[in-house]
Structure 1
């Protein structure tokens, strides 16, 4: 299947799954509520895993096409890090959502009432998020360095007129994109794992809404740009 067509179908299915997450009672209203939330979260995570499985196959076939991300808007492409979203964005999202919810529930929290949402992260959770963020930053920097090295090597060969063996060079680029995608999925899975089911649902909803919002802004920008 053409990856762009796959992406369009995958994107619509993600919309449906996020709608299911949004409708789920939070906090859970029954004893089986946590199980329901876990099932919904697992469904979304499998959806992301399938995305990166298919993307890996597409990278093998034509990494340059994947790197250009033609299925995205121009605004989205301006925000990409190695053909996708920057993994550390997940941590910024957690901190932002936690801060917003904490302020909105401040009176309840001061009275000792637990909300169970992202505004109610425990000290242990904050520590784990911080530690994992540091590890992810290091891995991001390493992969960024590999891409910079690849670009520098290619520039030197192009300037010197010695550019040869294009297949070998694109294979090297494909490996870099795959490493970036592995880090993206690894980060997403680790973040969800350290959250409670309710918090994981809220995180996935916030992440998807950010994705959807940027896409809509990008579409509007591209439409206005074509009118000029």
Structure 2
């Protein structure tokens, strides 16, 4: 998706296009997992392509938040199911760590015989002790940042009475909301980058597939639910 597309479309339309492209990227990623000995440069190229796609999303959302942060805060482009799971207009950054632990455990259980034989696969079932420690440390840091941003939003919401009583202060209050939304998205993107950075290319591909499939699955369920509710 181009920068022109990012800035010229209403965010809801941009998001629909962005999500369609995410589906196509997932299919490309999945193809690499069925290929024997995929080329490392090819894997790195795909990883960079996916990360650039997420960067496009948050760049466009930042522009939308500057124009109308209250609109962005309500996430009208999302389904009711997605909004029920949201943390400040999107997925909770610490979800990334739950995905790693879940995927690693599932793969470990399904290939435990090979692992006991000492076979190394290089995928998420093959996380090293050093990688687990770094994941755990990153998770702790991310939880602290999540909590700090959550507290900042809570303080902003508590100041609603002040906004009503002091109309002259409203621009400053709205500016704080823009900052909070951007901080939340920045933490999401930094968490993705950090997790991908501590994984091998093959592990990063599997993580990106799992995270994208989670987003696609939740959106699919949400769309079906909303269609059923409207009947």
TM-score range, shorter chain: over 0.9
**Are positions 1:189 and 2:190 aligned together?**
no
Aligned counterparts, 1:26-105, within 5 A? 29=37, 33-105=39-111
Looking at structure 2, the residues matched to 169 and 109 of structure 1 have their Cα atoms a distance apart, in angstroms, of 55
Which runs of no fewer than 5 residues in structure 2 stay unpaired? 1-8
- 1:170 paired residue number: 174
1:34-64 C-alpha deviation (Å, 9 max, x unpaired): 1111110110001111111111111100111
Contact 1:136-1:187 at 8 Å conserved across structures: yes
- 1:204 paired residue number: 208
**Are positions 1:116 and 2:129 aligned together?**
no
Contact 1:27-1:116 at 8 Å conserved across structures: no
Looking at structure 2, the residues matched to 221 and 46 of structure 1 have their Cα atoms a distance apart, in angstroms, of 31
**Are positions 1:12 and 2:10 aligned together?**
no
Output the TM-score relative to the length of structure 1: 0.94
Q: CA deviation at 1:138?
A: 0.3
Which runs of no fewer than 5 residues in structure 1 stay unpaired? none
Looking at structure 2, the residues matched to 168 and 215 of structure 1 have their Cα atoms a distance apart, in angstroms, of 34
The runs of at least 4 aligned residues of structure 1 exceeding 6 Å deviation read none
Could you tell which deviates more after superposition, 164-173 or 186-195?
164-173
Looking at structure 1, the residues matched to 220 and 196 of structure 2 have their Cα atoms a distance apart, in angstroms, of 26
Q: CA deviation at 1:163?
A: 4.5
Looking at structure 1, the residues matched to 181 and 163 of structure 2 have their Cα atoms a distance apart, in angstroms, of 21
Q: CA deviation at 1:199?
A: 0.5
- 1:23 paired residue number: 31
Q: CA deviation at 1:155?
A: 3.5
In angstroms, what is the RMSD of aligned CA positions? 1.4
Q: CA deviation at 1:24?
A: 1.1
Contact 2:123-2:202 at 8 Å conserved across structures: yes
- 1:220 paired residue number: 224
Check 1:122–1:148 CA distance in 2 against 1; reply closer, same or farther (3 A cut): same
- 1:128 paired residue number: 134
**Are positions 1:3 and 2:7 aligned together?**
no
Q: CA deviation at 1:156?
A: 5.0
Secondary structure at 2:207 match in 1? helix
Contact 1:27-1:198 at 8 Å conserved across structures: no
Check 1:27–1:199 CA distance in 2 against 1; reply closer, same or farther (3 A cut): farther
Looking at structure 2, the residues matched to 183 and 26 of structure 1 have their Cα atoms a distance apart, in angstroms, of 32
